[in-house]
Amino acid sequence: MELLRDVHVGLPPPSRGPARLALLSGHYLYYHYGCDGLDDRGWGCGYRTLQTLCSWPEGQPAGVPGLAAVQAALEDMGDKPPGFRGSRDWIGCVEASLCLAHFGGPQGRLCHVPRGAGLHGELQKLYSHFAGGGGPVMVGGDADARSKALLGICIGSGTEDYVLVLDPHYWGAPKSPSELQAAGWVGWQEVSAAFDPNSFYNLCLTSLSSQQQQHTLD
């Protein structure tokens, strides 16, 4: 199956009034359930979000690890016990940050938010991340354990704040970004609706090291 690139492009901004909007820089591929022929429904969303992070900033599949390679790496580095290979065990942002370093992907910086309601206090950090050239942000929690990626943020003048969410739980073969946008697999969501106020969340913010930035320029 051919992976789609930059599937958020073409979405209108969510706020009609004055707002500060920032989107990720670079390009990415949309990895989702079953996109490589493996049926990982119910357990693979964290792996798919990690793959999307690994495809940034070139938007190419080169260097993006498969699910088996991710499990082998986590077991070999001692983060997971023997027998993790071949399992259907989930992974989250902590494992993703380890794999980004292991596979030579972008840098992953972790941020812990004790309760989803506290994400309103992280909006400026997210805005600075995207405005400063940052890449996709992986998000995962406990009560809300569904992994997703953030691609941008829109801070309104009042209480309306939005995040641009990429959902890896799609199953099938999407024909175009517009199909995914129409079905809500990528789109703007109000912060209060996108996050469970009673769940903790980990964020993994991707960026390029100075060496990686120089390589990209070369």
Answer yes or no: 154 catalytic. no
Instruction: Check if 169 is active-site.
Output: yes
Catalytic residue of the set 27, 102, 120, 169: 169
Check 35, 45, 99, 154 and give the catalytic one. Answer: 45
**CA separation for the pair 169, 134 (Å, rounded):** 24
CA-wise closest residue to 60 among 108, 133, 2: 2
**Angle, CA 54 vertex, CA 52 and CA 56 arms, to 5°:** 80
Count the residues in the chain: 218
| Active-site annotation holds for 167 | yes
Query: Which amino acid is present at 129?
Result: H
| Nearest Cα residue to 204 out of 117, 99, 73 | 99
Question: Catalytic: which of 40, 144, 161, 167?
Answer: 167
**Residue 58 structure tokens:** 């070139």
Cβ neighbour number for residue 194 with a 10 Å cutoff = 19
What residue type is 116 in one-letter code? G
* CA proximity to 30, closest of 147, 127, 170, 130: 170
- Known catalytic residues are 45, 167, 169
